[in-house]
Amino acid sequence: MHLITTLCLFSLAIVQANPLDVSIKNLEGKPAKLADHSGSKATVVVFMQFECPISSEYSTELARLANLYASKGVNFIGVIPNSDEDAALKKEAREYKIGFPVLHDAKLALVEALGAKITPEVFLLDPKGMIVYSGRVDDSWTERLRRNAAPKKKDLIDALDSYLANKAPAVKKTEAVGCPISRPIPKVAQGKVTYHRDIAPIIQEKCQACHRSGEVAPFTLTSFNDAVRWKDLLVEVVEKKQMPPWLPSGGLHYRGERRMSDAEISLLRNWVKEGCPEGDFAQAPLPKRFTEGWQLGEPDLILEAPEEMLLAATGKDLFRCLVLPTNLKEDKVVVAYELRPGNRRVVHHTLHYLDTQGRASKMEANWKEKNGVGETKGDRGPGYTSAMGVGFSPSGEMGGWAPGISPKFLPEGIGYFLPKGSDFVVQIHYHRTGKEEKDRTRVGLYFAKKPAQRYVQPLVIPGQFLVIPANKPDFTIRNTVWLAQEVLMHSVDPHMHLIGKKFVMNITPPGGKTFEAIRIDDWDYNWQEIYFLKEPMRLKEGTKIEIEAVYDNTNNNPHNPSNPPKWVKFGEQTTDEMCFMFMGITTDDNSRAAVRRAENGPVSKRGGKIGPAKQPD
C-alpha cells in the first residue's frame, strides 16, 4: 500500500513539475503558463532581466530568432524572475522591443521547475516540456565583462536546427553567462558585518557614482534591497577586481581612484556569508548627495553638438568623434573643463582633443558623404566614427571624462592653451543598452581670469614595432627615454588597441630608486582613460622613463578581432595596434619637452613654445 501511494505521489510530482504547466503571471498580473504560448514543435524559454546588461543586449538577437523560427513551429517566451512591478516590466519590454510574449515569475516557480540560475539563460523544450537544450544563446561572452569580438559558437541555433531535423543536439547543455537570479533569503537582523554600518559606506563611495538612477550602470545600488538582490554578482565582480572599473593594479595614486581595498572586499564577502544582516538604520551613513547641473558653476563657454546622436539597440560599441567649433576670436587659457553626458546610460567615457587645422571638420563631411556606410544600422547623428583615436594627429589634448571623475580646476598659474578658431573634438565611447537610445553631450570650458605661467603639453613616448606575429601570447615592446630638462607631470595615458595585455611605466630619478608610475595587468581598451595625479610630480633632468607593453595575439584573448589570429601591423585601424604613453606635463618656460633616446645621447626636441606666439623668454 505504501509503495503504491509513493508511486502515485511520484507520478503526480512529475506531472506538476512539467514546466509548460507551471502557473505564473503575465505582465497584466493575470495567471499564465508556458502552455498558453508554447510552439507546436518546440518552445524556447528565455530567462531575462532588463537590469542585466548581458541579458538586455541579447534582446534584438532573440527577437530576430523568434521571428526566424516562428514559421517552423517554435515559439519564444521571455520569463522575468524578480519581484518588480508588472507595469514597469511591461514598459521595459516595450522599450526593448522584445517581440515575443513575456511572463513574470515573481515567486520563482518556473525558475525552480527548470533549475534556472542566470539571466540570460535559455531552455529549449519539446511539446511535452522535456528539456532538449539549456544554457547560453551563443559564446559572445566568455565571462561577465569579457565580450568576444564575435561569437564563434551559436549554441541555441545549433540545438534548434538539430532538433527540427529530428536529431539530438551535439551539445545539450552549456554554461550561461550573465547575472545570477537572486533567490529570497531569510531576513537576518544583526551580525558581525551589517549593511547599514559596514556595507552602505563602501557602496556609497565605490559604486553609487554609476549605480544610481539615470547613470551608466544598468541597475541601482542605493538601498538595502538593491544590495541583497545583487549580492552574489557584487561579491564575484569585486573579488575578480572587475568592479569598480579601475584598470591600474599598481603605481601612483590618481584622482577619482575607484579601487576597492582588500579589507572592503572582505567585508562585502563576509556580509553575504552571514546572510546579509541589515543592522540598525541609525548607524547608516547620510545619503550621498550628487551635485546636479554644472559642478564648477556656469562655464564661460558651453559646447554642444547641433543635434542628438541616435544609437542603435545592439552592435559593437561606438566610438564617435563630435566636432565642436569654439568660434573663439581670441586665444584663451582653459583652467577647467566639465563634460555633461546627455544620456549617462550610454556614455562610457570620453577623450578630448584640439584641432586648429579643420581636419576633424573635413572628416565629418567625408563621413556624411558615405551616408551611413561603415556604421551600425540605426546609428545616426553628428560627427564621425573613429575607433582608435580621432583619425589624425591632434593639435592638442584636453583630458577626458569617465563616470566617477569629478571636474577640478588646475593649480593656479597652469592651464590648457586654446588657440582662437580651434575645434574641440570629443571622442565618445558609447555603450549599447539593448534598446534605442539618444544622447546630446555638452562640454563646459572655464577660462583663466589672469595670464597663465605654464601650459599643459603632451610628452609622447612611443613603443615602436612593425608587426605583431600571429599566435604570439606575450609579444613585448619596450622603450626608454631620459628627460633632458625638468618637467612637472600632471597625467598619464597609456594607449594600446584590442590585443593589448599589460602596460607598465617605471620612473627612475637621477641617483634615485625606480618606482612604478602606473601598472595595468589586465588591459581593456573599453576602459581606457586619462589618469590625473592627485598632485603634480616634479621630474628632474636626467630622469629615466621606461615603458613596457605586452600583447596577446592568440585565440585566448577574447578581444582579438581576428579568428584565426593574423599578423597585426602598426596603424590606426581597429584591427591594427599601437603603443604609446601620453604624459600631460608642463615646463617652467613653456618650451617643448626635450628628451634623450640614450642616457648621454643627443637631445630630441621640437622647436618653439606651448602657448601664445608672444611669450617672455
- What CATH number did the domain enclosing 387 receive? 2.60.120
Chain centroid offset of residue 191 CA: 35
Q: Is residue 189 part of a domain?
A: no
Contact status, residue 403 vs residue 258, Cβ threshold 8 Å = no
Q: Please say whether the dihedral angle defined by the alpha carbons of residues 210, 216, 221 and 222, taken in this order, is positive or negative.
A: positive
Let me know if 482 is exposed, middle or buried by CB neighbors in 10 A (0-12, 13-18, 19+).
Answer: buried
Does residue 14 surpass a pLDDT of 60?
Answer: no
Alpha-carbon distance of 79 to 76, in angstroms, equals 10
Q: Is residue 503 domain-shared with residue 365, that is, in the same domain?
A: no
Domain closes at, from 452, 486, 501: 452
**Mean pLDDT, residues 400-409:** 81
How much is the pLDDT for 372? 64
Mean pLDDT of 232-252: 90
- The conformational region for residue 145 under phi > 0 = left, psi -120 to 50 = alpha, else beta, is left
Is the predicted pLDDT of residue 211 greater than 70, yes or no?
A: yes
d(CA 227, CA 231): 6
- Note whether 16 and 149 are same-domain residues: yes
Q: Enumerate the β-bridge partners of residue 294.
A: none
The mean pLDDT of the chain is 89
Report yes or no on 556 lying in a domain. Answer: yes
Q: What average pLDDT does range 404-416 have in this prediction? A: 86
Mean pLDDT for the stretch of residues 47-72? 92
At residue 565, the pLDDT reads: 93
Q: Which is it for the CA torsion 180, 185, 191, 196, positive or negative? A: positive
**Per-residue pLDDT band at 190 (split at 50, 70, 90):** confident
- pTM (2 decimals)? 0.78
Q: Give me the domain span that covers residue 359.
A: 301-452
Closest CA to 113 of 211, 30, 47: 47
- Residues 360, 354: Cα–Cα separation, whole Å: 9
419 pLDDT tier (thresholds 50, 70, 90): very high
Q: Is residue 502 part of a domain?
A: yes
So what's the pLDDT on residue 617? 56
In a shared domain, residues 507 and 575: yes
In three-state form (DSSP H/G/I as H, E/B as E, the rest C), the secondary structure along 222-288 is CCHHHHHHCHHHHHHHHHCCCCCCCCCCEECCECCCCCCCHHHHHHHHHHHHCCCCCCCHHHCCCCC
Do 60 and 176 lie in one domain? The reply is yes
Q: Is 481 exposed, middle or buried (0-12, 13-18, 19+ CB in 10 A)?
A: buried
Helix (H) or strand (E) holding 319: strand 318-325
Q: Quick check: is 103 in a domain? A: yes
Per-residue pLDDT band for 156 (boundaries 50, 70, 90) equals very high
The count of other CB atoms within 10 Å of the CB of residue 558 is: 17
- Rounded CA-CA distance 502/479 in Å is 14
Q: In Å, how far from its chain's centre is CA 563?
A: 23
List the beta bridge partners of residue 46.
78, 122
- Residue 72: CATH number of its domain: 3.40.30.10
Domain shared by 348 and 208, yes or no: no
Query: CA angle at residue 354 from 351 to 358, to 5 degrees?
Result: 125
d(CA 430, CA 438): 10
Rg (CA), the chain: 28
The tens digit of pLDDT for each residue in 285-339 reads 999 888 778 888 999 999 999 999 999 988 888 889 999 999 999 999 999 999 9
Same domain membership, residue 318 and residue 271: no
Kindly state whether residue 186 falls inside one of the protein's structural domains.
Answer: no
Query: Of 254, 283, 312, which one is at a domain's C-terminal end?
Result: 283
d(CA 460, CA 495): 11
Q: Quick one: 563 and 481 in the same domain?
A: yes
pLDDT at 108: 93
CATH number at residue 495: 2.60.120.230
- Interatomic CA distance for residues 76 and 17, integer angstroms: 20
pLDDT exceeds 70 at position 249: yes
118 and 177 in contact (C-beta within 8 Å)? Answer: yes
Q: Are residues 161 and 213 in the same domain?
A: no
Residue 321, beta-bridge partner list? 384, 427
Enumerate residues 6+ apart whose C-beta is below 8 A from 434: 50, 53, 55, 56, 57, 58, 59, 60, 96, 313, 314
Highest mean pLDDT among 408-412, 506-510, 576-580, 592-596: 506-510
Cell numbers representing residue 577 in the block: 595596434
pLDDT 10s digits, 23-39: 999 888 899 999 999 99
Residue 345 pLDDT > 90: no
Q: Are residues 143 and 9 in the same domain?
A: yes
More confident residue, 573 or 45: 45
pLDDT by residue (tens digit) across 543-595?
999 999 999 999 888 888 888 999 999 987 767 898 999 999 999 999 999 99
Q: Give how many domains the chain has, as a whole number.
A: 4
Q: Give the pLDDT of residue 407.
A: 86
Domain match, 447 and 473 both: no
What residue type is assigned to position 417 of the chain?
A: F
**Whether the predicted pLDDT of 342 surpasses 80:** yes
The verdict on residue 296 lying in a domain is no
Q: For 56, what's the count of Cα atoms within 13 Å in the CB-facing half-sphere?
A: 22
Which residue, of 397, 423, 452, is where some domain finishes?
Answer: 452
State whether 403 and 463 are in the same domain: no
- pLDDT > 50? residue 162: yes
- Same structural domain, 271 and 315: no
Distance, in Å, from the CA atom of 139 to the CA atom of 228, rounded to the nearest integer, reads: 29
First and final CA of the chain: distance in angstroms?
107
My answer on whether omega of the bond before 564 falls inside 30° of 0, hence cis, is yes
Residue 328 near residue 74 (C-beta atoms within 8 A): no
User: Which pLDDT tens digit goes with each residue over 440-451?
Assistant: 999 999 999 988
DSSP state of 173: B
Q: Is residue 121 part of a domain?
A: yes
CA distance 76 to 265: 40
